[in-house]
Amino acid sequence: MIWRTAAILVVAWALGFAVFMMSLGKPLAGEKTDAIVVLTGGPGRIDRGLALMQQHAAKRMLVSGVDPDVRPQELAAEYKVSRDLFRCCIDLGHEAVDTRSNADETARWVREHHYRSVRLVTSDWHMPRARLELAHALGSNVELIGDSVATKPRLRMLFAEYHKYLVRRVALLAGFD
């Protein structure tokens, strides 16, 4: 009986990992939303968000999890983007330190601006958990679209992220916010 239960758990874990791998997402093309949210922490994320803003894919963008010492003009200079774009259309969120606080910071910003659709930009390996957290924080009134930045994560990182995703999913299902 113990062996069967263990075997079932192993098979469920492996199937779950396969589903997780299929949910990593891809870059999105042509989709317009009210807002773009970029979660800091990986290469290419801010670049992707800025490119989308320059293509007029959204009205406004939040970069969540920015170091409190970073100023908009510094990012504009670093990414070679007009300061006017930052002045009119890009907000820096300085409160978030992890994925859960990214979701909380983003939800406050979305509610403040009354947005109905959000494009989430983060790394492909981070997308399932980031979507889970943000969907939970936003509720069902806001359409959430994932736009993954392609990376080449190591298997070890994927396993670690899968386990974080599982723990958070179970916690949310159990009612632990």
Give the whole-angstrom CA distance, residue 28 versus residue 143.
Answer: 15
How high is the pLDDT of residue 29? 83
How high is the pLDDT of residue 28? 85
Give the whole-angstrom CA distance, residue 146 versus residue 121.
Answer: 6
How high is the pLDDT of residue 77? 93
Cβ atoms < 10 Å from Cβ of 172: 14
Report CA-CA distances (Å) from 95 to 65, 101, 104, 164: 6, 7, 9, 21
pTM above 0.85, yes or no: yes
Give the whole-angstrom CA distance, residue 51 versus residue 45.
Answer: 10
How high is the pLDDT of residue 48? 96
How high is the pLDDT of residue 25? 79
Question: What are the pLDDT tens digits along the chain (177 aa)?
Answer: 899 999 999 999 999 999 999 888 788 888 899 999 999 999 999 999 999 999 999 999 999 999 999 999 999 999 999 999 999 999 999 999 999 999 999 999 999 999 999 999 999 999 999 999 999 999 999 999 999 999 999 999 999 999 999 999 999 999 988
Report CA-CA distances (Å) from 77 to 73, 82, 151: 6, 8, 25
